[in-house]
Amino acid sequence: MATLRDIKKRIKAVQNTQKITKAMKMVSAAKLRKVQNRMLDLRPYADKMHDVLMSLARGADRESHPLLAFRPRKTVEVVVVTSDRGLCGAFNTNILKAAQKSIDGYTKEGFQVSISVVGKKARDYFKRRGVSTRNAWTGISGNVSFTNAQEIANDVKENFINETIDEVVVVYNAFKSMVAQTVTVAQLLPLAPVEEGKEAPASESAAADFIYEPSMEAIFDRLIPRNVDIQIYRALLESSAAEEAARMSAMENATKSCSEMVGKLTLQFNKARQASITGELMDIVGGVEALKG
């Protein structure tokens, strides 16, 4: 049975843990506000840029730019975006499960799979399983910059143009709300075609009648590579915001669990103390009775 001193030490340890989890929640909240503002500012721009390029590419020759080219798929690149740190609930577990499912699916279809990772958690996950990764970027989580996105995008674009890889998909957690993240698997390259049987929006129906100024080649040369940079930057920001939200939620739950544990330990301490006092009183009463005898 635990002594009063042992229980008191446990209470102190849990209270110290509670202080840490509460502080981590506050830090994550401050980080979330910053990255969430950047993410929300970028979303409309990234969406509209992708839509415009989809519209332009629909009426253009797929061979007009190397990043638009469709060719028989042999190698599919899967870019997995996770965090560098843990203590964020099921954030990394969910994204790694989705990534593994995609990888297994491509493998069953007979494609070669190339893997690039962003974040230590993804790097360590594949390393433990003996799976080689083509490239890995760490130290980005919590400190996302457009330079990071350009570095990743340039590597992906170069390998796609050189035909080392034939398709690129990015797997990341998109920020949905403070308590929910959505695992997203998005095709990055080549620019996704319209699904068969699906009509294009009315605003895009006259894509073939566009007049390009200065020229279609000049526009594609400038915008398509830029779009890859922007979409990767968006994925990094979405993932960073989702990570901080997940960590906030996890630390809040941990703080509540600590409070409940302190309550249970305090009750246990009081019961043990009461039992100890009762035992001492019984000893005193027994001694008095012995003296009377």
| Model confidence pLDDT, tens digit, residues 161-183 | 999 999 999 999 999 888 888 99
Q: Which tops the pLDDT comparison, 44 or 142?
A: 44
Is the pLDDT reported for residue 258 higher than 70? yes
Class of domain 34-249: alpha beta
Helix (H, G, I), strand (E, B) or coil at 115: strand
Domain boundaries, the chain: 4-22+257-292, 34-249
Residue 115 backbone dihedrals phi, psi, to 5 degrees? -120, 130
User: pLDDT band at 59, cuts 50/70/90?
Assistant: low
Specify the length of the chain in residues: 293
* Under 8 Å between Cβ of 54 and 224: no
Alpha carbon 229 to its chain centroid, in Å, reads 18
Residue 102 backbone dihedrals phi, psi, to 5 degrees? -65, -45
pLDDT at res. 1: 60
Q: Which tops the pLDDT comparison, 281 or 83?
A: 83
Q: Considering the chain, what percentage of its residues have pLDDT values greater than 70?
A: 91
The pLDDT tens digits for 3-57 are 888 888 999 999 999 999 999 999 999 999 999 999 999 999 999 988 888 877 7
Interatomic CA distance for residues 102 and 260, integer angstroms: 40
Helices 216-292, 91-108: crossing angle, 10 deg rounding: 130
Is 88 a catalytic site residue?
yes
pLDDT at res. 232: 95
Q: Of residues 79, 88, 230, 232, which has the active-site annotation? A: 88
User: pLDDT band at 197, cuts 50/70/90?
Assistant: very low
- Sheet of 112-118: strand order equals 135-137, 112-118, 75-81, 167-177, 180-189
Q: Considering the chain, what percentage of its residues have pLDDT values greater than 90?
A: 63
DSSP secondary structure, 164-214, as one string: S-SEEEEEEEEEEETTEEEEEEEEEESPPPPPTTPPPPGGGTTGGG---SS
Interatomic CA distance for residues 147 and 150, integer angstroms: 5
